[in-house]
Structures are given as structure tokens and as C-alpha cells.
Amino acid sequence: MICKILIVDDHWVVREGLKLILETNDVYQVIGEAENGEVALRLIEELKPDVILMDLNMPIMSGLETMKAMKVKQDETPVIILTTYNEDEMMIRGLSLGAKGYLLKDTSGNNLFRTIDSALRGETVLQPEISARVFAARDTLPVMRNEQNLLSDKEQAVLQYVARGFRSKEIASHLGIGERTVKAYLTNIYNKLGVDSRSQAVAIASERGFLRI
């Protein structure tokens, strides 16, 4: 089955570089390109991509603004953010909007394919260097002390593994519990944080300062 991909970035060289990588694998097909969010929204509606690779900083309409517009339209097409080394705060905001992953623009083909495949499964994967930056950015935000005990110790442990990109089966193995139990903990976490996805849970917990690595 072919995975249809839309690339949204205002830099031609970035779009071409990603296309070259994606074209090495017959599973992925680039069906469109956009230089800003305004064009992207039109192409999303016209082309119905399976996954969107989206830059954060673009003229006319940014990546975050585009994701907000998609949320209003209830468009749940998985979005993977393309980022550089100076966008930490926006990365957290992107996670809270439901981004399925972050990729540095100089990422390897293997990381690109793995992140796309995870997004298609509804999972969130953060590269180790991305996770470190998200948590470093979190440390500059005020801690809401009255919420530090919102999650139980086991729920916090599960969420920390989620933040590192582990799947439910892997988390279960590390914690010595069943996969169904992990999913039950995740449901509790979502309910307590008022979210409906792993990426949003990580983002909200990071913003509130009670997720530790």
C-alpha cells in the first residue's frame, strides 16, 4: 500500500531533499508540495494525503497556524513537524496540537521512514535529541505545584516511556506489566490531562512541569 505524502516547507531545497530520500523507497509517494500553510490547507483538501511533513516557520501561514486550522476542520491527517535547532517552545505547542512527531531537517532516511510509519499507526515518535530539547524547554516554564501529584507514580512512569517513543508493548516489558494495563494507564492519563493522544499528553505534562526524564 502506497503512503501519500504532502511536504509543506517554504524552502525549495528542503522539499527537494526530502523528496530524494522518499523516492528511494517505493512505499512512499510525494503527491504534493506547498510553500506555506495557506496552500497546504487547499492541497490537503484536494489531495487527501496520508501524512503531512510540515515546517513550523513559513510566510503567510505558519505550521502551527495550519495545524490549528486543521483542528477546527476536524482534519486528523497525521502531521510530522520539520524543525531546526531554535524552535523549542513552538515544538511543545505543536505537540499540544497533536503533532505525531518531530524531525530535524537533516534527519536520516531511516529516521524519516520510521517516524512516518509510526504516524500512520497513530503513534508518536521523538528522536532522542528532540526529546531532550522538549524537556529542556519545559524547564524554563513555571511549575504548577498543585498538579505535581496529578498522575500516580505508575502513570508518570508510563508517560515517561511514551515521551521517549516507546510503544505499549515495550513499556509493558520494561515495567513488568501487561500491555492492556499500559493502555488502561494511558486512558487514565488522557482523562486526567484532558487530552486524547500520546503527543498531547507529553506536551501538556511538559508544559505543566511534572513530567521528568
What proportion of the chain, given as a percentage, has pLDDT over 90?
Answer: 37
Which tops the pLDDT comparison, 204 or 20? 20
Structure letter (DSSP) for residue 28: E
What is the layout of strands, in order, in the sheet containing 28-34? 28-34, 3-8, 51-55, 79-83, 101-104, 125-126
Q: Give the model confidence (pLDDT) of 46-102 as tens digits.
A: 999 999 999 988 889 989 899 989 988 889 899 998 877 555 566 677 777 778 878
CA–CA dist 59, 69 (Å, integer): 16
In the predicted model, is pLDDT for residue 144 greater than 70?
no
- Of the chain, the end-to-end C-alpha distance in Å amounts to 37
Predicted confidence (pLDDT) per residue in 112-123, tens digit: 998 899 888 887
User: Distance (Å, rounded) from C-alpha 41 to C-alpha 52?
Assistant: 11
**So what's the pLDDT on residue 211?**
66
Which of the residue ranges 37-41, 128-132, 136-140 would you say has the lowest mean pLDDT? 136-140
C-alpha cell belonging to residue 110: 531511516
pLDDT value of position 79: 93
Q: Give how far the C-alpha of residue 173 lies from the chain's centroid of Cα atoms, to the nearest Å.
A: 24
Instruction: Indicate the pLDDT class of residue 142, thresholds 50, 70 and 90.
Output: very low
CATH of segment(s) 141-208: 1.10.10.10
CA dist., res. 97 & res. 82, Å (int): 15
Going by pLDDT thresholds of 50, 70 and 90, the confidence category of residue 150 is confident
Span 40-50, mean pLDDT?
96
Whether residue 170 is predicted with pLDDT greater than 50 in this model: the reply is yes
Residue 16: predicted pLDDT: 93
Fold identical between 3-129 and 141-208? no
User: Domain residue spans in the chain?
Assistant: 3-129, 141-208
Class of 3-129 per CATH?
A: alpha beta
In this prediction, residue 205 carries a pLDDT of: 77
